[in-house]
């Protein structure tokens, strides 16, 4: 009887990690691999660079996912106090990488953007890593400057200068999408960290004005805005990419044309396996497929904020801000990518987290989720200690 009671108690005991969060992330990674394969068959089979192998992008994506999961598992092993100590140094590493990518002969240019550093076997995209480093740094900064968060010169100004410097480096690449995500993450963490309300409002105004100036001063960004406003006015020019994405959404209807049945991926829709993967999902799996993706991202975001609130209630401020920052990052990037695919936002070079093709993005996402699971795990251990 004692053995039966012990077994039943273990059966009903809460697990030491967030199973829902983990399985949702794994499902998104699996769906991403399938859809990357479907979206890239045509371009891989027609490209001499890939050796005309239709499975070229699938095999690389599977390797990226496997390595990224390993990185996520390793990240989970580090306690949050270690991440807090490493945060400033990781941020400096990110800055160095952003500088290196701008050096001729070091940075690799693709489609007019210099965002990658060639590592021979793969290309490293520093801006993807910088999103994670910005989360850790902003959280650590908010804790270190907790007593000065109401001060303009000691709390607000140093972070503003650092973020403007990072923004300048990103705009030189140019990578306006990564800049927008990093700014959103930093602002969200500073707000949760207790920054002065008037200073926060002033920051929002300055950012809106700054974004407007950056767009107005850049001809190609202005062309994207014009194409976004009315893609059908120039469907073979400025509105080409968006018009074909909208055609994909229209063809998908409620339940899609079936897996592998997309027409737009047949060399019509540019970047079908990266920035516009959601359009292929919409065409092949329909509104139902898109809704499932949206709901899974919503679940991850809600869990991130719930984990953050629990950490805050246990007086773990750094862990709480990191959890919230990861939730903001994944949510903002997913919303921007989905908005671009649906024609709700101007075209930006942002991938869909956990789904789109790309090693740096997948690795950064998996490490972030590993850290998020660590925050949750440590909170559960504390609660067990209180219960005992």
What is the residue-wise DSSP string for 321-363? HHHHHHHHHHHHHHHHHHHHHTTSS-----PPTTTSS-HHHHH
Each residue's pLDDT tens digit, 48-73: 777 778 899 999 999 999 999 999 99
Look at residue 220 in the predicted model and tell me its pLDDT.
63
**How long a stretch of residues is the chain?**
388
Q: Say how many CA atoms lie within 13 Å of 231 toward its Cβ.
A: 19
Look at residue 215 in the predicted model and tell me its pLDDT.
67
Given the DSSP bridges, would you call strands 107-110 and 113-118 parallel, antiparallel or unpaired?
Answer: antiparallel
Look at residue 8 in the predicted model and tell me its pLDDT.
44
CA 341 to centroid of chain Cα atoms: 16
Q: How many CB atoms lie within 10 A of CB 164?
A: 13
pLDDT at 81 over 90: yes
Look at residue 161 in the predicted model and tell me its pLDDT.
84
Q: Say how many CA atoms lie within 13 Å of 47 toward its Cβ.
A: 14
Instruction: Give 244 or 160, the one with higher predicted confidence.
Output: 244
Each residue's pLDDT tens digit, 299-346: 999 999 999 999 999 999 999 999 999 999 999 999 999 999 998 888
| Mean pLDDT lowest among 46-50, 150-154, 268-272 | 150-154
Each residue's pLDDT tens digit, 221-235: 666 666 666 677 777
Look at residue 217 in the predicted model and tell me its pLDDT.
67
pLDDT at 196 over 80: no
Contact 114, 107 (CB under 8 A): yes
CA distance 35 to 356: 8
Q: What is the DSSP letter of 49?
A: G
pLDDT at 6 over 50: no
CA distance 234 to 243: 9
Given the DSSP bridges, would you call strands 113-118 and 123-124 parallel, antiparallel or unpaired?
Answer: antiparallel
The chain-wide mean pLDDT, for the chain, equals 87
Token readout for 382 is 């504390």
Q: What is the DSSP letter of 150?
A: T
Confidence of residue 2 (pLDDT cuts 50, 70, 90): very low
pLDDT at 3 over 60: no
Look at residue 195 in the predicted model and tell me its pLDDT.
75
Q: Which of 134-143, 153-162, 198-207 has the highest mean pLDDT?
A: 134-143
Confidence of residue 105 (pLDDT cuts 50, 70, 90): confident
CA distance 146 to 158: 13
Region 29-35 average pLDDT: 97
Helix, strand, coil percent values for the chain (each to nearest 5): 75, 5, 25
Look at residue 181 in the predicted model and tell me its pLDDT.
93
Look at residue 282 in the predicted model and tell me its pLDDT.
97
Look at residue 253 in the predicted model and tell me its pLDDT.
93
pTM over 0.85: yes
Token readout for 16 is 């030491």
């Amino acid at each position: 009887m004692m053995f039966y009671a012990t077994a039943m108690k273990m059966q009903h005991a809460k697990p030491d990690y967030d199973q829902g969060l983990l399985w949702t992330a794994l499902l998104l990674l699996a769906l991403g691999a399938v859809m990357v394969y479907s979206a890239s068959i045509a371009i891989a089979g027609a490209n001499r660079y890939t050796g005309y192998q239709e499975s070229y992008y699938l095999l690389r994506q599977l390797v990226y996912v496997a390595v990224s999961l390993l990185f996520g598992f390793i990240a989970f092993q580090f306690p949050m106090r270690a991440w807090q100590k490493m945060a400033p140094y990781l941020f400096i590493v990110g800055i160095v990488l952003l500088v290196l990518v701008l050096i001729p002969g070091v940075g690799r240019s693709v489609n007019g953007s210099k965002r990658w550093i060639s590592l021979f076997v793969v290309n490293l995209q520093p801006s993807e890593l910088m999103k994670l480093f910005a989360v850790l740094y902003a959280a650590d900064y908010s804790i270190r400057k907790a007593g000065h968060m109401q001060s303009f010169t000691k709390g607000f100004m140093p972070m503003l200068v650092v973020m403007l410097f990072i923004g300048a480096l990103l705009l030189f690449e140019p990578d306006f999408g990564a800049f927008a995500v990093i700014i959103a993450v930093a602002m969200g963490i500073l707000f949760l960290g207790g920054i002065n309300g008037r200073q926060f409002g002033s920051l929002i105004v300055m950012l809106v004005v700054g974004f407007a100036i950056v767009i107005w001063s850049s001809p190609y960004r202005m062309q994207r805005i014009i194409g976004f406003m009315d893609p059908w006015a120039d469907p073979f020019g400025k509105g080409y990419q968006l018009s074909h994405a909208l055609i994909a959404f229209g063809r998908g209807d409620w339940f899609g044309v079936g897996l592998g049945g997309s027409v737009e991926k047949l060399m019509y829709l540019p970047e079908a396996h990266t920035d516009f993967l959601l359009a292929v999902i919409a065409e092949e799996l329909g509104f139902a497929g898109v809704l499932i993706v949206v709901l899974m991202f919503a679940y991850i975001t809600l869990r991130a904020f719930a984990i953050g609130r629990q950490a805050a209630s246990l007086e773990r401020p750094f862990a709480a801000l990191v959890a919230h920052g990861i939730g903001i990052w994944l949510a903002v990037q997913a919303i921007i990518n989905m908005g671009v695919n649906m024609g709700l936002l101007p075209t930006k070079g942002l991938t869909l987290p956990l789904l789109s093709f790309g090693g740096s993005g997948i690795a950064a996402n998996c490490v972030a989720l590993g850290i998020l699971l660590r925050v949750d795990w440590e909170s559960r251990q504390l609660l067990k200690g209180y219960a005992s």
